[in-house]
Amino acid sequence: MLNLLDLAPADAEKVLREFAVAHGQAAYRGTQVVPHLWTKPVASFAEMTDLPLAFRQLLAEHFSLPRLPLEMEQRSVDGTRKFLFRMHDGQAIETVAIPDGDRLTFCISSQVGCALQCAFCATGAMGFARNLAVHEIAGQVRELALLDPPLRATNIVFMGMGEPLMNWKAVTEVLTILNDPKGFGIGARHITVSTVGVLPGIVALGQRKEQFRLALSIHAPSDELRRTLMPVNIKYPLADVIDAAAAFDRRVTFEYVMLGGVNDAATHADQLAALARRCQAFVNLIPLHPGGAMGFTPTAPEAIAKFARRIRNAGVEVAIRKSRGMDIAAACGQLRVERLRRRPPAAADHDREIDVA
């Protein structure tokens, strides 16, 4: 059975039109199915009530529209909502919806676990289980649109579990589904792919004609330090990542998690500012989760403000992402760890800065 949710809208439309004709229907009957996949999603073929009943039954016999069962939801006082979806093989992923005025940003996952083992990240500590399929990534957005009342994303950040550019084959299809007017129709500038610096993926993202945004997790401004925090730096050294970011012809954001006594000295600020100037990047400073992570301690708020001033004085745009409790963008796995530790949901007030695009 062909899974229609693994296909880009244009491909699904082609398949469905051919299917309709092959079964004695007008081709437009196939086209009529397409809005029900993403734009105005419905849970099953039976609910596509603008189609003849017999054709709906025929569709159900030949195609699938897999759901992602929602296992748990948590809400924070500021309206942020976390969703835990269970995959068909028992694996779990999380998606977060963050309201901010008239915007609603979804932070979505692209892998179960992660192979890259960043020292401060809970997802990295879990190890890598598998890549998510197209329908499991785009399906997170679809499932939230199927809620009653529906949640419709205005912005998407690939900052959930996993490294999206290690799953490029699926992610590039998902970008099409998110952006295509026959998919979710979300503007490319409102879709941000966040990476630790997987070079082939950055090049591939840059080759897409749409203006998708790139966020780079820098977290250390020198190779020596970065190597100790992010093993990926051995394969993709910082200088090469910066070259790739400088060559990326759209806005780039640097993500920098503040680790007390590790990467928060004045010299680090100067080094970071120099790198950002080269790429004309915007810098997001991310306070560490108050509980710390994996033996790291947060930098004091005054010290973060000082660090930010130093960067700003060097002519670089910088923001401090407010974070209390969990920080969605910084540590891809912290949310999941929250759940595993069975803590009550923390009040997140980071929403204003989550939109890095």
> Which 3 state secondary structure label does DSSP give 329?
coil
Sites for ligand SF4 among residues 239-298 (CB under 6 A) = none
Interface residue with ligand SF4 among 121, 133, 214, 311 (CB under 6 A) is: 121
**Contact set for ligand SF4, span 129-188 (CB under 6 A):** 162-163
Quick one: 124 or 345, whose CB is closer to ligand SF4? Answer: 124
The separation between CA 84 and the C-alpha centre of its own chain, rounded to angstroms, equals 15
Count of residues that bind ligand SF4 according to CB under 6 A: 12
* Residues ≥6 apart with Cβ < 8 Å to 54: none
Stretch that binds ligand SF4, among 55-63, 120-128, 135-143, 334-342 (CB under 6 A): 120-128
Asked if 196 interacts with ligand SF4 (CB under 6 A), we say yes
Nearest by Cα to 162 from 195, 203, 197: 195
**Active-site residue set:** 94, 332
Instruction: Give min distance, CB of 93 to ligand SF4, in A.
Output: 12
Rounded-to-integer distance, Cα 182 and Cα 8, Å? 9
Nearer to ligand SF4, 114 or 138 (CB): 114
Q: How far is the CB of 312 from ligand SF4 (least distance, A)?
A: 26
Of 179, 333, 337, 345, the residue at the interface with ligand SF4 (CB under 6 A) is 333
Site for ligand SF4 in 90-119 (CB under 6 A): 114, 116-118
Residue 255 contacts residue 215 (beta carbons within 8 Å)? yes
Q: Write down the least CB distance from residue 128 to ligand SF4, Å.
A: 9
Tokens of 34: 């397409």
- Residue least distant from ligand SF4 (Cβ): 124
Length of the chain: 357
The residue ranges of DSSP E strands in the chain, in sequence order, are: 2-3, 63-64, 70-75, 81-86, 92-100, 103-107, 111-113, 128-131, 155-158, 191-195, 213-217, 252-258, 282-287, 318-320
| Contact positions vs ligand SF4 (CB under 6 A) | 114, 116-118, 121, 123-124, 162-163, 196, 332-333
